[in-house]
Structure 1
């Protein structure tokens, strides 16, 4: 086990130390000559530690700013680091195009980074006023487009299913009334309207707009669909013995990852008095860690934002990939139905 302090020192600590870094590196167990795909390259924190351990990295990210950071790292690591622009849901095709299939490992850090949250101009957070944007790829419809153009019923469904917001209909109605007078343009404009509509619970530390902002970010970037696609793609392109390591930050993400590994590591269905025990498809993964691994006290003291992070990891077997059951993975109804029961 690599001590957390050692891994942190080896990472690019001047800019960004990713969550659960030592746990991720220990789960990946990078070795010289291996090719590991970092599907959420971001600021290169995981990739830097993997490269320091002697392995090679294929970095993937849809954020245009990531390419510049990768280019700077290539000056140090040369050909052991390759970068391709794209979404990690397409990682199997991207890895094949780069000539690195099958892969030795895949790591995914789901969600938005702390540094993206802190960049007001990206519009991910209401902690700093900025344009209501939230696009990771910096292309396509913005969060403002969604808020100003979707009907109230659709907005309520987004807030309820993707943000688990109990006051979804009330908030959507307030948005509809306000935008008739003036469209929403900034993060604080929307956050203030939500706080005014449902009030602030003195027993909760989180801002009343938190769940709505989460829902909008997920919807704008197709994050849960992307997660499912990425898990399925990793299953297809990992070699036997290859490792899949995923860090998730909220319940919707973690539920999908948990069910993915659970379904693909079972050997039989337990049955009931109405239905006998049944054999399932051969397991495509064995579990590398039991349950979800969270941050330790040292990391929480250094980075309170890490408190909700969970790591789950598995090792690929020789079995064929499983068929996809989107509803079984816990995708919200609106997303599962849009996939028509199959992998898109």
Structure 2
């Protein structure tokens, strides 16, 4: 496993949650460094099969040479159609480890990190056309306000948006350092690192349309899973976790669960763990990324 690329969070808990049948078909939709995939393969027999997805071209270098393994270079929002191309119409388990990998944060030229100066890019898939530079320089003030408030959960989102719009009139904001300089006057003192992280998170979610992709993935997961199959999703952001929680509980993202004529709930999944799972204190100490991880497990009804 490429630990330099990304250390998998709650590895044992994720594998246990999948309840692996050694002859089953499984999907890891966030391959990354391959940590979760390698562990799934260790639990699969000769008749088992694992399909993995990753849109990041850098992840392809971590591919696994194993007849039971297939890596698909696509965003997981296209999971169902890509699996159908491979003749797969139902699976025994699906795993998603959402968010950004350590590798992506540490790659200076990708523009994900507040630590390095680089072009404002933030595309997880380098084929995509929308960049963070486009968002910062072309989005209207109201739209920036919405993105920073909703995706970054920034308290002074309106002031931040107004400040950015004023700064870009003087010169286009094209690098990480320019962005930080443009907004430094509105950054709370002694909270600079946390604030910039929230700003970058908001831009990354918008650039990659992460919440829309997650909704599409969850809907497809419910269709693909066999009865008794498991969906295992680990999220790092309250908005992601809320979408996962609502979909498991209600079969939809908003509103109340629908019921049939007899009052029975109409939903495809049931929660396996009523209470969200979090990483142990020991794991958080060893891997800071585990601090905000929330693991939810569901089973196809």
Provide the TM-score with structure 2 as the length reference. Answer: 0.90
Is the contact between residue 50 and residue 56 of structure 1 (CA under 8 Å) also seen in structure 2? no
Secondary structure of residue in 2 paired with 1:213: helix
Q: CA deviation at 1:114?
A: 1.4
**Distance 1:219-1:280 versus aligned 2 partners, 3 A rule:** farther
Indicate whether 1:133 and 2:121 are aligned. yes
Deviation sequence 1:296-334 (CA, Å, 0-9, x none): 0121111112101000011111xxxxxxxxxxxxxxxxx
Q: CA deviation at 1:280?
A: 4.1
Cα distance in structure 2, aligned partners of 1:109 and 1:137: 17
Cα distance in structure 2, aligned partners of 1:13 and 1:40: 15
Cα distance in structure 1, aligned partners of 2:183 and 2:37: 38
Indicate whether 1:240 and 2:255 are aligned. no
Indicate whether 1:26 and 2:13 are aligned. no
Which residue, 162, 168, 193 being the options, matches 2:182? 193
Secondary structure of residue in 2 paired with 1:104: strand
Deviation sequence 1:113-148 (CA, Å, 0-9, x none): 111111111111112222111001112111011101
Cα distance in structure 2, aligned partners of 1:62 and 1:234: 18
Q: CA deviation at 1:29?
A: 2.2
Structure 1: runs of 5+ lacking an equivalent: 1-10, 271-276, 318-344
Secondary structure of residue in 1 paired with 2:172: coil
User: Which residue number in structure 1 is paired with residue 197 of structure 2?
Assistant: 210
User: Which residue number in structure 1 is paired with residue 215 of structure 2?
Assistant: 228
Is the contact between residue 195 and residue 208 of structure 1 (CA under 8 Å) also seen in structure 2? no
Provide the TM-score with structure 1 as the length reference. Answer: 0.80
Indicate whether 1:290 and 2:280 are aligned. no
Cα distance in structure 2, aligned partners of 1:167 and 1:87: 32
For the aligned residues, what is the CA RMSD?
2.0
Q: CA deviation at 1:67?
A: 2.3
User: Which residue number in structure 1 is paired with residue 143 of structure 2?
Assistant: 154
Which residue, 49, 68, 72 being the options, matches 2:61? 68
Cα distance in structure 1, aligned partners of 2:75 and 2:42: 25
Q: How many residues align?
A: 291
